[in-house]
Amino acid sequence: MQPFTRVVGPAAPLLRQNVDTDLIIRIEPLTQLKPSELGPHAFEQIRYRPDGSDDPDFVLNRPQFRGAPILIAGRNFGCGSSREGAVWALMSAGLRCVIAESFGDIFFANCFQNGMLPIALPGATVERLAALAADGAPFDVDLVGKVVRAPGGETVPFDVDAQRREALLEGLDEIGRTRKRDAEIAAWQAQDRTARPWIWQLAS
């Protein structure tokens, strides 16, 4: 997993409420493509015209937001089904951070499992940041300092679970976090083999 320490770039404002995972990525591309190939299919129901051309009204199609690494989203972003592919599609499209008032619980957890930072902020703050983002001026999302620096110098602190923050900074998913404790696990196993040898006989 790619570590996340700091991301600098435009923040695309998409203040649409209740964007679900089916709108983020349809199920069909998930059955046919690798995670790294999903980017062009992210938001395709609202990103393209019926003839397949870009809809210029969709925020990620605007020149100042093409390739933006940050998305400023509406309330309850990532609700709906639990498909992890929603995060894969956003990351394949170049996004590394989503700022919203609230998130679907499973989507929120899947972000941390895949190297994306979801930031929950009060609705009024999200709207203010979206207004500051309108012209494509760069934002600075700093996970080390736990702050968002907006154009013009405004600094907005954010909270993040300490263990999840550490995992993002180090680029570790749950398996990687477990492997960090290999020595402790091996020591416990050795002690337990001595204390309860019959358990290990059954396990083998």
Query: What is the reported pTM?
Result: 0.87
Instruction: Answer yes or no: are the C-beta atoms of 130 and 15 closer than 8 Å.
Output: yes
CB 71 within 8 A of CB 50: no
- Sorted by where each begins, the domain ranges of the chain are 6-172
Maximal CA-CA distance, the chain: 69
pLDDT at 198: 84
pLDDT at 130 over 80: yes
CATH architecture, range 6-172: Alpha-Beta Barrel (3.20)
CA distance 151 to 173: 32
Q: Is the pLDDT of residue 108 over 90?
A: yes
| pLDDT (tens digit per residue) in 145-176 | 999 999 989 999 999 999 999 999 998 766 66
Nearest to 116 by CA among 141, 145, 82: 141
Model confidence at 114: pLDDT above 90: yes
Structure confidence at residue 75 as a pLDDT band (50, 70, 90)? very high
Mean pLDDT for the stretch of residues 135-144? 97
Q: Confidence band (pLDDT; 50, 70, 90) for 96?
A: very high
Between 16-25, 118-127, 135-144, 193-202, the lowest mean confidence (pLDDT) is in 193-202
167 Cβ neighbours under 8 A, 6+ residues apart: 112, 173, 174, 176, 177
- Burial string for 75-105 (b: 16+ CB within 10 Å, else e) reads bbbbbbeebbbbbbbbbbbbbbbbbbbbbbe
pLDDT band at 200 (very low <50, low <70, confident <90, very high): confident
Residue 187: which pLDDT band, with cuts at 50, 70 and 90?
Answer: confident
